[in-house]
Structure 1
Amino acid sequence: MNQDWLTVKRGNAPLLLSIPHAGTVIPADIAAQLQCSTEQAQADTDWYIGELYAFAAAMDITIVKTEISRIAIDMNRDPSGQSLYPGQATTELCPSTSFAGEPLYPAPLTEAEIARRKAWYFAPYHQALSDELARLRAQHPQVVIYDAHSIRSACPRLFDGELPGLNLGTNDRQSCCVAVADIAEQQLAGGEFSFVHNGRFKGGWITRHYGQPAKGIQAVQLEIAQRCYMEEAENATPAPFSVARASALQQQLQTLFTQLLAWAKSEEVK
């Protein structure tokens, strides 16, 4: 099975950066099933996440990233198909609509097609996450998995008004220990961007599934409103990356990573 869409950069620091929604590749067999244009299908991408977290490569951090678009299959959804936010609008494991509610396919996907996508794309991504977490956990008593996301600042179907700039999710503080949640909250709340902890986005399946604080795996998700680092425009897909806007945010994120690594390494000498 060809997995050139999956990137695993191995480091040895006790932090794993997961980037599941920044991919733009729509395989030809999936593109042929769409009823919308490729540009429309890509509109909900977590744009420029790799560029935003470019500093991580020099910190000996492991990075797992998919180039496959989330509209093919969403790496951050429960593979059983169960909703992560019951009663609220969301998208499925294999999204049938865009964030705006526009249909992506002329007819529902078959169970066989969903199973095929799970086997070809979802399973390898999560095998990579599991393997890298196991490798790092064998080296360190505590490991942090940080799931990186972004979204348009306004998306009426998913939330009212304008989303806070930084949206920390820890599954209502169940996916990580108190110390990690407090470090992330204090660092993210102390900058120039608006902040909320466990607001509209509490952490997706990656955060909820892999976060096992009692077993030394601490999981957090950060959903960033794209105005924090992009020149958001209503009719631009994607809007341009803003070096000026991103600079302050990157400094804040790099400091967060430094603090999380310092905490994890402090656990090694206890």
Structure 2
Amino acid sequence: MNPGEPELDPPFEVVEPVGQRSNVVLSSPHSGDVYPDRFIASARLDRQSLRRSEDAFVDSLFRGGVDCGAPLLRARFPRAFLDVNREPYELDPRMFDGRLPPFANTRSPRVAGGLGTIARVVGEAQEIYARRLSVDEAIVRIDTLYKPYHARLRQLIEEAQHQHGTALLIDCHSMPSSIVSTNMGGTHDDKVRADVVLGDRYGTSCDRRVVDVAEATLKGFGYLVERNRPYAGGFITEHYGHPATHRHALQVEINRNLYMEERTLRPTAGFATLAGHLAEMVARLTTAMMTDTRVAAE
């Protein structure tokens, strides 16, 4: 671990199930809430403002899935410090002193929006840093945080598939309540607020029957569920989801208004109810993945 960031040792944790493991793996890459002192000192924003990009409490929301046999990988570092749901080197050259490596992706839409592997902005396009960073600083974050996180995630997926023949990664996220999706009618009057968005990269990262189980479970609890609008899944979903090789990945985005007060970042009375419903979703997905031989064999 980078000795300059002692607060991030360890940089992530795995909550392991007791007893039999399922072939479901949970990942919470954006719920980290440990902000290194050196990072705070380099920012032009205060800690509360930096937390606007954080998927606060999402790791706790999905904690019940561990009781279903699914290991939960959760980052301790915040998304504003390093985003593992990006390519390893999606970097904005305007943020750094010195020349980036030639293999860096400096032209992706995410970089253009200020949301690369090392973000330039949070919230409503608020600039994070008061100064440019060194290229070496970026490389250290990637080497000590990004690469170990993905190495551990790959290991968990491989272990699940080795034991069961197939694996399902559930990538756990939250979204601001201001995000609006549109019904099929497409008019202003048809706009609704989605409670949950299921992202399967438009059917390419996860078998449709698996997504059907997640959607039916959540709708059964009364939630408004959208698929791929406005979130189809990020780098993790796309990178690890390959149904042809029996590896499936599904991104789940939860409306923050369901479980917390967004301004103060405090859980609300709805937290426990939602957590219970998500645990039931994981349980049903576990059963589906273990018993539907078509998903495992095709």
Q: Same fold (TM over 0.5)?
A: yes
Task: Give % identity.
Answer: 24
Name 2:249's counterpart in structure 1. 219
Query: In structure 1, what residue type is equivalent to 2:164?
Result: H
- 1:5 and 2:11 equivalent? yes
Name 1:123's counterpart in structure 2. 147
Q: 1:169 aligns with which of 199, 202, 208?
A: 199
- 1:71 and 2:98 equivalent? no
Report Cα offsets for 1:222-244 as digits up to 9, x if no partner: 11111111234xxx331x2123x
Q: 2:40 aligns with which of 14, 31, 35?
A: 31
What CA distance in whole angstroms lies between the structure 2 residues aligned with 1:26 and 1:54? 22
Which structure has the bigger radius of gyration?
A: 2
Contact 1:193 1:228 in 2 (8 A): no
What CA distance in whole angstroms lies between the structure 2 residues aligned with 1:115 and 1:87? 16
Q: Tell me how far 1:178 sits from its aligned partner.
A: 2.0
Q: Alpha carbon RMSD of aligned pairs, Å?
A: 2.6
Give structure 1 stretches of 5+ with no counterpart: none
Name 1:201's counterpart in structure 2. 231
Please, what TM-score do these two structures have when normalized by structure 1?
Answer: 0.87
Query: In structure 1, what residue type is equivalent to 2:264?
Result: T
Seen in structure 2, the aligned counterparts of structure 1 residues 139 and 84 have a Cα distance that, compared at 3 Å, is: farther
Q: 1:146 aligns with which of 149, 159, 170?
A: 170
Contact 1:43 1:237 in 2 (8 A): no
Contact 1:44 1:151 in 2 (8 A): no
Equivalenced residue count is 262
Name 1:179's counterpart in structure 2. 209
Please, what TM-score do these two structures have when normalized by structure 2?
Answer: 0.80
SS at match of 2:168: strand
Report Cα offsets for 1:21-43 as digits up to 9, x if no partner: 11111223322221111221122
Name 2:27's counterpart in structure 1. 18
Q: Tell me how far 1:90 sits from its aligned partner.
A: 6.3
What CA distance in whole angstroms lies between the structure 1 residues aligned with 2:113 and 2:120? 13
Give structure 2 stretches of 5+ with no counterpart: 3-8, 91-104, 181-187
What CA distance in whole angstroms lies between the structure 2 residues aligned with 1:20 and 1:86? 17
Q: After alignment, is 73-82 or 92-101 more displaced?
A: 73-82
Name 2:264's counterpart in structure 1. 237
Seen in structure 2, the aligned counterparts of structure 1 residues 200 and 108 have a Cα distance that, compared at 3 Å, is: farther
Q: After alignment, is 119-128 or 189-198 more displaced?
A: 189-198
What CA distance in whole angstroms lies between the structure 2 residues aligned with 1:231 and 1:39? 13
